[in-house]
Chains A and B, each alone.
Chain A
Amino acid sequence: MTLLRATGLTKRFAARGPLGVKAEFTAVDRVSFDVGPGETLAVVGESGSGKSTTARMIAKLMDPTEGSLEFDGEDVTRAKGAALARFRAGVQVVFQDPFSSLNPRHTVERILTAPLVYQGIAPNGSRRAHAKELMERVGLNPDHSLRYPAQFSGGQAQRIGIARALAVNPKLVICDEAVSALDVSVQAQVIELLRRLQRESGFSFVFIAHDLAVVRQIAHRVAVMSKGRIVELGDTAQVFGDPRDEYTRTLLAAVPRINPEWDRRRRERVQA
């Protein structure tokens, strides 16, 4: 069973010189993967690896130059009109910077009910009740539904972003560096929230990130990207425990770690 299938996705950008001389740059090069229902696929890579362009293509915020995209058994590569609307109802995105992706002039209630309005879906009960229910699900105080984004902290604002994504009951949520901008203590809570929501609602995640440690905590499978290509794709345990690709090994070795000896001693003390 496959929810989302990307086949040979390619994105080339044309850079125009002063005399119209064309120079082409391949940002994403024949990328293929699939995501099953309830599964979390992480796409990791360094800057310039093409992971964000890949995210934009599977969210249909950008058209691929080549390749195809299937969602829920339907080819959506060139979807328009009603087909695109169905896709949008099924796929939601959570962005990196919660404040710039939430309208500062709208209340949380309005932000959370807007997706329903766009999709033409009637909420269960009143809008206010719907917004409050969503806020409760993401661990926000529902009494704050008439506040504005600026009145929340970074972690809370990201929870609003997550709640907005959940408003239409999506089958797939794409998280584009959704926890990168958060402080570690807040980050840990948001990761836990994402895992709980997935357990409760059974949607799939495509988790775009550069932080491998975060990915290890949340992904079932991992795709490692470098220079526009997927160099390794496998189960999380295999990619982290027994990386096959040279680049993956370099990447994993470069991640800074707390001195393991110190860390072991601390844990022993905690358990004692």
Chain B
Amino acid sequence: MSDLLVVEDLTVTFPTARGPVDVVRSVSFTLGRDETLGIVGESGSGKSMTSLAVMGLLPKGARASGSVRLDGVELLGRPDRELRRLRGDRMSMIFQDPLSSLNPYYTVGLQIEEVYRAHRGGSGKDARKVAIAALQQVGLPDPERRVDYYPHQFSGGQRQRVMIAMALVCSPELLIADEPTTALDVTVQAQILGLLAGLRKDSGMGLVFITHDLAVISSIATRVLVMRQGEQVEYATAEQVFAEPRHDYTRMLLDSIPRIDDPLDEGVTA
């Protein structure tokens, strides 16, 4: 069986007043089914642009070159009309800020139902049942009632659960999570990480998890891609990256993160 996602030599170029700028340069990785790849990097590393390029969601004017294959099928260069059929159905994405990522004017039920109906058709009644089941699956209490709530009536963690329900309603093979826990409190973050890991395992989908937080990556990813200023620095199993980092930048990052289990004086030294 082939790999689920193969990215080869991906380059993303933005036009600027001073000529084109590459925000992602020659990035390559593969993601197997039933696997979690962590993409880690600081701000400006190009980690979000990489994921948007995979989804075909790059901002206007940006160009992607190289190759992105989902289940052996090339995605780059395909018209949006065709990519649209894959998005939300075979590949989904969740984002950092669940409040602004949900439309405040519609109930969460409608926002989940519309994904299902766009890809599977069917009656409104069916879609509603599916939406309630999806909310149940992500552990939202009282889904029959909450399906008619508006996004602002949920807490931050619940909103991210709604986003996850929306992303998974068509049982995609690939889920891309772009900093999904960064805006959340640490206790809520732990719950969402647990939920994502559990759902991924149950469904056997591939997960790409993007974050700036190495500790989070360590707890969820099997393979890790370290990015810096648009370039791929290190790509290896999580164990290799954390126990035997080969690149100076990775080592520097690992040295920089403050450790909660370290007393004051063994901590950061510059």
Instruction: Assess A/B contact in the complex (Cβ within 8 A).
Output: yes
Q: Which of A227-263 contact B (CB under 8 A)?
A: 236-237, 240, 250-263
Known: A183-B43, A213-B259. A256 touches B213 (CB 8 A): yes
Chain A residues with CB below 8 A from B260, complex form: 212-213, 216, 240, 252, 255, 257
Known: A211-B258, A217-B267, A256-B218. A265 touches B244 (CB 8 A): yes
CA distance A253 to B189 in the complex (A): 12
Binds B, one of A10-18, A63-71, A111-119, A186-194: A186-194
The A contact surface, by secondary structure, is: helix
CA distance A270 to B243 in the complex (A): 10
Are B187 and A250 closer than 8 Å at their CB atoms? yes
Are A266 and B244 closer than 8 Å at their CB atoms? yes
Known: A185-B252, A257-B260, A263-B242. A251 touches B212 (CB 8 A): no
Q: Which of B214-237 contact A (CB under 8 A)?
A: 214-216, 218-219
Are A254 and B262 closer than 8 Å at their CB atoms? no
Q: Which of B228-269 contact A (CB under 8 A)?
A: 238-239, 242-245, 251-264, 267-269
Q: In this assembly, does B82 line the interface, its C-beta being within 8 Å of a C-beta of chain A?
A: no
CA distance A97 to B241 in the complex (A): 32
Are A258 and B218 closer than 8 Å at their CB atoms? yes
CA distance A189 to B42 in the complex (A): 15
Known: A184-B253, A189-B270, A237-B263. A256 touches B219 (CB 8 A): yes
From A46, A214, A261, A269, give the contact of B244 (CB < 8 A): A269
CA distance A257 to B220 in the complex (A): 11
Q: In this assembly, does A47 line the interface, its C-beta being within 8 Å of a C-beta of chain B?
A: yes
| Chain A residue nearest to B193 in the complex (CB) | A256
CA distance A211 to B212 in the complex (A): 14
Q: In this assembly, does B17 line the interface, its C-beta being within 8 Å of a C-beta of chain A?
A: no
**Nearest chain B CB to A12 CB, angstrom units:** 22
Are A216 and B259 closer than 8 Å at their CB atoms? yes
Q: In this assembly, does B57 line the interface, its C-beta being within 8 Å of a C-beta of chain A?
A: no
| Chain A residue nearest to B252 in the complex (CB) | A185
Q: In this assembly, does B190 line the interface, its C-beta being within 8 Å of a C-beta of chain A?
A: yes
CA distance A134 to B251 in the complex (A): 32
Q: How many residues of B contact A (CB 8 A)?
A: 41
**Nearest chain B CB to A6 CB, angstrom units:** 24
Query: Most B CB atoms within 10 A — which of A154, A185, A255, A258?
Result: A258
CA distance A212 to B261 in the complex (A): 10
| Chain A residue nearest to B270 in the complex (CB) | A192
Are B257 and A236 closer than 8 Å at their CB atoms? no
Are A188 and B256 closer than 8 Å at their CB atoms? yes
**Nearest chain A CB to B74 CB, angstrom units:** 34
Are A216 and B270 closer than 8 Å at their CB atoms? no
Chain A residues with CB below 8 A from B193, complex form: 256
Are A257 and B219 closer than 8 Å at their CB atoms? yes
CA distance A252 to B244 in the complex (A): 27
CA distance A189 to B258 in the complex (A): 11
Q: Which of A206-230 contact B (CB under 8 A)?
A: 210-214, 216-218
CA distance A256 to B194 in the complex (A): 11
CA distance A184 to B214 in the complex (A): 10
| Chain B residue nearest to A257 in the complex (CB) | B215
Known: A184-B212, A256-B193, A259-B218. A210 touches B256 (CB 8 A): no
**Nearest chain B CB to A223 CB, angstrom units:** 17
From B185, B212, B242, B253, give the contact of A262 (CB < 8 A): B242
Chain A residues with CB below 8 A from B216, complex form: 256
Query: Most B CB atoms within 10 A — which of A46, A211, A266?
Result: A266
Are A257 and B186 closer than 8 Å at their CB atoms? no
Are A185 and B267 closer than 8 Å at their CB atoms? no
Chain A residues with CB below 8 A from B66, complex form: none
Chain B residues with CB below 8 A from A184, complex form: 42, 212, 214, 253, 256-257
CA distance A240 to B243 in the complex (A): 25
Closest 7 CB pairs of A and B: A46-B185, A183-B42, A262-B242, A188-B256, A256-B215, A254-B190, A213-B258
> Which B residues have a C-beta under 8 Å from some C-beta of A?
42-43, 156, 185-190, 193, 212-216, 218-219, 238-239, 242-245, 251-264, 267-270
> Which A residues have a C-beta under 8 Å from some C-beta of B?
46-47, 154, 183-185, 187-189, 191-192, 210-214, 216-218, 236-237, 240, 250-263, 265-266, 269-270
What are 9 A-B interface contacts by the 8 Å CB criterion? A46-B185, A185-B252, A211-B258, A213-B215, A216-B264, A217-B262, A251-B187, A256-B189, A263-B243
